[in-house]
Amino acid sequence: MNQSDALNQTLANQSQELVVDPTESFIKALLSGKKYLIIGHQNPDGDSLGSSVALILALRELGKEAMLGVSGQISSNLLFLLNDFPGVLSLPQAPSDFSDYDAVVLVDCQDPGRIWAEAPSVKALNSIEYLVVDHHQNRSELYSYKAAYVNHKAAATAELVFRVIKDLGVQFSPKIVEALLAALISDTGSFSQANATAESLRQASELVALGGDIEQINRAIKHNWSVGKFRLFACSLASLTIHCGGRVAALLVTKKMLKVSGGKISDTEGLVEYPLLIAGVEISALFKDNCLGQIRVSLRSREGIDVRTLASSMGGGGHLQAAAYLDDNPSPKKARSRFLVRVDRYFKFLSQAEKVNEISFGSQD
C-alpha cells in the first residue's frame, strides 16, 4: 500500500468509527426524561464543572429541567461559570431519595465514591441507575450505571459533552461555548499537555470560531486567585522535598497550612503541577489532608512516566500522567513516607522491566 492509499484507509476507518456513534444509547437514556440532576465529582474542577454546566444548558435548551448538584467546594476561579446560572444545589450528602429526578448524570467520574465519601450517600446513588459521561479509565463492571459515554482517550469530559450536545441538536450558545472551552482549557493546561488531542484542538477551534475567548477564559481561570489561595500555595511550596535522586518531588498540605493561610482545600487545584517545573523531576506528588481523616494523594508525571499504575497499586486511579488515591494515614507526612517506599520499588521495577521487557507491578502493601 502506498502512502496515499494508507492515508485514505486511515480516513475511511475514522469515518467508519464516526458512523457507529458511541453516544447513541447514552443520548437515548438522556432524552427519556423531563427532570435531571447533573453531578460532577467532589470539589469539581474546571472540566467537571464546565462540562456539567454545558450539558445542563443544552438540556434546558430542549425544554427540560436540569439542576446542578455540587459536592464539596468550587474553587473561586471557576465561579464565573455559575454567573447567571440558576438551579445549583449544594449536596454535601446524597439526597435521601432521587425519585424527584428522571435521570441522574455523573459528569467526569463514574464512581459514586468520587462524589461523596460517606457510605450511605454512595449506597443511595448505587441504588439507582444513573448515567455517566467521563474520560477516566475505570473498571466499569464495578458500577451500576444504566448508560455511559466513556472514552479515556478524550482530553477532557468536555470533549465528549461537545459531541453529546451536537447529537442533541442544540446550538452552542455563548454560555455553552464558554463552559466547554473553560473545561478543555482546564484539563489540557491550556492545550499545552500531552493529553491535548487533535479532536480537542479541533473542537477548540470551532468554539473560538463561535466567539469563545481563550485569553479571557485563561485569565478568569488562572489569574483570579484569592489571597488565601496564594498564601496556601506559598506554605505548601515551602514544604517541598526532593527524593529518588531528584526524580520525585513532594509537597504537603496540612490542616495547619489551611488554617494559617486562610485557603481552602479546593484552592489546591493546580498546586501539584508546580514541582514539574524543576529540571529532572519526573513525578510530582501532593499529600493533602482532606480534613476527613484521610490524605488525598495527587500525582503528576512527565510524559513517559505512568503514574496511573502507581496510583492503582494504592487503590486509586486516573490517567497516565495525572492520577490520585486516598491514603488512610492520619498525616500527610506519613502518607508521603509510605508513597516513597512504593515509588522507590516502582522505579526499581521499571528499570528491571526495561531489562526483561516484562510488566507486572506488585499489589498494594
User: Which parts of this chain interact with Mn ion (CB under 5 A)?
Assistant: 47, 108, 156-157, 187
CB of 312 to Mn ion, least distance (A): 18
Stated as kind and residue range, the H or E segment containing 234 is: helix 227-237
Judged by CB, which is closer to Mn ion: 137, or 284?
A: 137
* Side chain identity, residue 188: T
Range 212-241 burial, b when 16+ CB lie within 10 A, else e: bebeebeebbeeebbeebebbbebbeebee
200 contact partners, CB below 8 Å, separation of at least 6: 154, 155, 156, 159, 184, 188, 191
In this structure, are residues 343 and 244 in contact, taking their beta carbons and an 8 Å threshold? yes
Of 250 and 311, which has the nearer Cβ to Mn ion?
311
> Based on CB atoms, which residue is closest to Mn ion, 47 or 111?
47
- Smallest distance from Mn ion to CB 183, Å: 7
Smallest separation (angstroms) from Mn ion to the CB of 235:
27
DSSP-derived letter for residue 77 is G
The residue number whose beta carbon is nearest to Mn ion equals 47
Cα(212)–Cα(309) distance, rounded to whole angstroms? 36
Residue with smaller CB distance to Mn ion, 51 or 290? 51
Q: Which residues contact 161 (CB under 8 A, 6 or more apart)?
A: 51, 54, 55, 107, 133, 180, 183
Least distance to Mn ion from the beta carbon of 161, Å? 11
Q: Please state, as a whole number, how many other Cβ atoms lie within 10 Å of the Cβ of residue 16.
A: 9
187 vs 269 by CB, closer to Mn ion:
187
Tell me 169's DSSP state. Answer: T
Nearer to Mn ion, 160 or 249 (CB): 160
| Torsion sign across C-alpha atoms 303, 309, 314, 319 | positive
Cβ-based burial of 175 (10 A; exposed 0-12, middle 13-18, buried ≥19): middle
Least separation in angstroms between CB 188 and Mn ion = 10
State the nearest-atom distance from the C-beta of 47 to Mn ion, in Å.
3
State the minimum distance, in angstroms, from the CB of residue 336 to Mn ion. 25
Pick between residue 34 and residue 139 the one whose CB is nearest to Mn ion: 139
Let me know: does 51 contact 179? Beta carbons within 8 Å.
yes
